[in-house]
Amino acid sequence: MAIVKYNPIKELRSMQEQMNRLLDLAWNRETGEDMRDGVWQPAVDIYEDDESVVIKAEIPDVDQKDIEVKIEDNTLTLKGERRHDQSVKKENYHRVERYYGTFQRSFHLPHTIDQEKIKAACDRGVLTITLPKKGEKKPKQITVEVK
């Protein structure tokens, strides 16, 4: 039998997701709303290697013109909007499970990030933001001259 580390946060998140689905289902039946508009947050992965910190955000069907990445006061903010496909009539949908509307995520940056060299690219619905690290400053050796 394998020993598995207990993670109460994971269980709380799972319970929260189940409650959100249940409440969404009840709300949609009660109000007749079938389009999920409102504020949502794209899922992100953040990892680090020797040269940089990388943030990957899932933003399928978000146009590049609707994405904004900015840095202010050592905080990186990702904003955008996923819009409904206007070519499909609302009454033609059988089920809408994805969220639409605006989103925003903010991340505090460590002081080791070179903010002038940050790059962002989007490929197959995944926005990748690469945050290069500053070169390490090594202590400078000062030679003492003898007079």
Compute the average pLDDT of residues 74-85. Answer: 91
Per-residue pLDDT band for 33 (boundaries 50, 70, 90) equals: very low
Strands (E), 35-138: 44-48, 52-58, 67-72, 75-82, 101-108, 119-123, 126-132
Neighbours of 53 (CB within 10 A): 20
Q: Which two tokens stand for residue 9?
A: 């946060």
124: left (phi over 0), alpha (psi -120 to 50) or beta: left
The C-alpha atoms of residue 49 and residue 107 are separated, in whole angstroms, by 18
DSSP 8-state symbol, 113: B
Complete domains list, the chain, with CATH: 36-132 (2.60.40.790)
Compute the average pLDDT of residues 111-132. Answer: 94
pTM over 0.75: no
Compute the average pLDDT of residues 70-84. Answer: 92
